[in-house]
Amino acid sequence: MMIPGSIKQKHKADQKKPIAGKNIGKQQVYSDQHEKTDDDSNKKEDVAPPKAPMNMDVSKLTPLQKKMLSKLSGSRFRWINEQFYTTDSDKAFEIIRKQPDLFEEYHKGFRSQVESWPENPVDLYIKRLVFRGVSKPANSPGGLPGLRNDKKRTVVVADMGCGEAELATQVDRFLEFYRKDHKKALKVFKKKYGGDKFVSARNKRIEIKVHSFDLDKVNDNVTVADIKNVPMDDESCTVVVFCLSLMGTNFLDFIKEAYRILTPGGELWIAEIQSRLADSTGEEFSNTITKLGFRHKQTDTSNKMFTRFDFFKPLKPERLDVQSIQGIRESGNEGQWLLKPCIYKRR
């Protein structure tokens, strides 16, 4: 997952754009126009900051010591986060395989960041799954897409780059309560997450199964996988979610994988940091996703920090424009021209 907050996007060095076909080093950092900068203080750090002491009794530290410890932890977190942005998923997977403790550190820093957010986009997706699920039967107008060859019309969700699998945890917890007392369960859920007072429990037999994928198994809900290649059959999923998880330099491979596992009529939900987009409306991003076979439903730019995109896989396959995208990718990865990486300000 990508982290906002005190992020400094690169300033452009000049008005020139990268030359198509030019060999671009992996350590090169690009500006809003995808240019490299000569500012050494902003270049990607290849050496990790020292690890903060574990199991320390913070209550015994002086205010200055607490400040220094926080700064050390923050530097470490920013470095780990930057590795995920500026490498492809193969390398990220290998980094975590060799140093699994980095993933734990990353999520500790992520939890700290979330506390300062006015809104967490994963909560919006939890609400969407629950409210659409309880309001209408799967595959009905306005309802969630469910498996058509399943009598229960199960809604199968793939949470790609799930982090600590909060989506699966909260949806499972709600469903367990809902099956016992649907009215009370929905009332408690609304109190926690807020939402439309007109949403009611019309659908009593809701079935949602969430599969959670990420680079390391932080809990039992997570399946370890590089999200460009997840262990799901073709057309076995009805909703794919990317919540701040299009981080690798090869993230269009993740979108291709979403197309593979989605059933026709299935939905693709994407939430990303607004400042990463090449344009304020996200039009270039949407157009690129449609070239990979999806149809664009809507873009929500109402949040100042996040932009949400909704797509669906057509019932009948459409002609893909993979060739034109591949041509652009050969001159530079998608982190250079589609979704900009976020490089943290050096302190």
Dump pLDDT digits (tens) for 45-93.
455 554 555 555 545 546 555 455 455 455 777 888 888 888 999 999 9
Q: Which two tokens stand for residue 287?
A: 């157009």
Q: What is the mean pLDDT of the chain?
A: 81
Q: Which two tokens stand for residue 306?
A: 């996040």
Whole-number Å distance between alpha carbons of 136 and 299: 23
Which amino acid is present at 227? I
| Strand pairing class (306-312; 295-300) | antiparallel
C-alpha dihedral sign at 185, 190, 193, 199? positive
Residue 24 vs residues 42, 93, 275, 333: alpha-carbon distances, Å: 18, 22, 23, 9
To the nearest 10°, the Cα dihedral for 166, 172, 174, 175?
Answer: 160
Mean pLDDT value across residues 112-129: 90
Confidence (pTM): 0.79
Interacting residues of 240 by C-beta distance below 8 A, sequence separation 6+: 157, 158, 160, 258, 261, 262, 266, 267, 268, 269
Share of the chain above pLDDT 70, in %: 72
Q: Which two tokens stand for residue 342?
A: 């976020």
pLDDT value, residue 63: 58
Beta carbons of 259 and 293 less than 8 angstroms apart: yes
Mean pLDDT value across residues 112-140: 93
DSSP notation for 210-251: EEEEESS-SSTTEEE--TTS-S--TT-EEEEEEES---STTH
More confident residue, 73 or 137: 137
Domain boundaries, the chain: 121-337
- Asked whether residue 328 carries a pLDDT value surpassing 90, the answer given is no
Residue 304 vs residues 91, 246, 273, 300, 307: alpha-carbon distances, Å: 32, 19, 9, 10, 8
CATH number for the domain whose boundaries are 121-337: 3.40.50.150
For residue 126, the SS3 value is: helix
**Residue owning tokens 């009611």:** 200
